[in-house]
A = this chain, B = another copy of it.
Amino acid sequence: MTGVLVIEDDDRIRLALLLALEDEGYAARGAATAEEGLRAQRQDPADNVLVDLMLPGLDGFECIRQLRRDDDVPIVVISARDDTHDIVAALEAGADDYVVKPVAIKELSARLRALRRRARAAAPAVSVLTFGELEISPEAGEVRRDGQPVPVTRTEFRLLCELAEHAGRVLSRQQLLSRVWGYHTGDERLVDVHVGRLRQKIESDPANPRHLVTLRGLGYKLQR
């Protein structure tokens, strides 16, 4: 089923849209603010996003930009204003289409379909981060060494991804604890243990790590 996320602050309109979309066979979810919508999309990406321009807090334009930053999802603006400036600005910000409220659900649905037709094809090669003989693919949830899959646990994988995302930079134990575990306090030795386990799996000589290196007194970093 195709998922749609509706970001719209007016409860009545949002609900109406959600119901109409579900009638059309979509799995529709709603968000009342840009922040909520961004969070929802990050957690469980929908296949389309509808966004109103006039939102409390973060406005629609900014919302679009942030959605675009880490996602290629088709974005349709639903606005009450039929104004060239707004339309151009929204499209420039990264939106794919702009419709003016009120809009017939059939039209909306057709526009979404047309967009997905485009988006699908332009699609997907799973991205891979490479560190010498190491390959890390966050999307595939997979780590390979010399092309061979390496079984890593969830925590190890998250830790590795975190380090890979900031390749070449030191991350302190505190930073890792907070980003990987969500702890904002806790025993920093925990990080050591997991780094150790990870090394056993991804380093050819775990005692003399080449990629996952310690910076005494600072933390760890992943290098090429």
A→B interface (CB under 8 Å)? 1-3, 22, 27, 29, 43-45, 84, 87-88, 91-92, 95-98, 104, 106-107, 109-111, 113-115, 117-126, 139-142, 153-155, 157-158, 162, 166, 168-170, 172, 174-175, 178-182, 184, 215-219, 221, 223
- Are B91's CB and A154's CB within 8 A? no
C-alpha spacing A168/B115, complex, angstroms: 23
- Evaluate whether A215 and B141 lie within 8 angstroms (CB atoms) in the complex, with A3-B179, A88-B107, A158-B1 already known: yes
- Evaluate whether A91 and B114 lie within 8 angstroms (CB atoms) in the complex, with A44-B172, A169-B139, A175-B44 already known: yes
CB distance from A164 to the nearest CB of B (A): 12
A184: chain B residues within 8 A (beta carbon)? 27, 29
- Are A139's CB and B170's CB within 8 A? yes
- Are B113's CB and A1's CB within 8 A? no
C-alpha spacing A123/B118, complex, angstroms: 10
- Are B182's CB and A27's CB within 8 A? yes
The 7 closest A-B pairs by CB, nearest first: A154-B217, A141-B170, A120-B121, A91-B110, A84-B104, A27-B182, A88-B110
- Are A122's CB and B124's CB within 8 A? no
C-alpha spacing A221/B22, complex, angstroms: 26
Q: Which of B84, B122, B126, B170 contacts A140 (CB 8 A)?
A: B170
C-alpha spacing A104/B45, complex, angstroms: 34
- Are A221's CB and B179's CB within 8 A? no
- Are A122's CB and B126's CB within 8 A? no
- Are B84's CB and A106's CB within 8 A? yes
A–B Cβ pairs within 8 angstroms, 17 of them? A1-B180, A2-B179, A27-B182, A27-B184, A29-B184, A44-B175, A87-B111, A96-B114, A96-B117, A97-B97, A121-B122, A140-B168, A140-B170, A140-B221, A140-B223, A141-B218, A157-B218
Q: Which of B97, B153, B174, B215 contacts A44 (CB 8 A)?
A: B174
Q: Which of B98, B141, B180 contacts A221 (CB 8 A)?
A: B141
Cβ-closest chain B residue relative to A113: B91
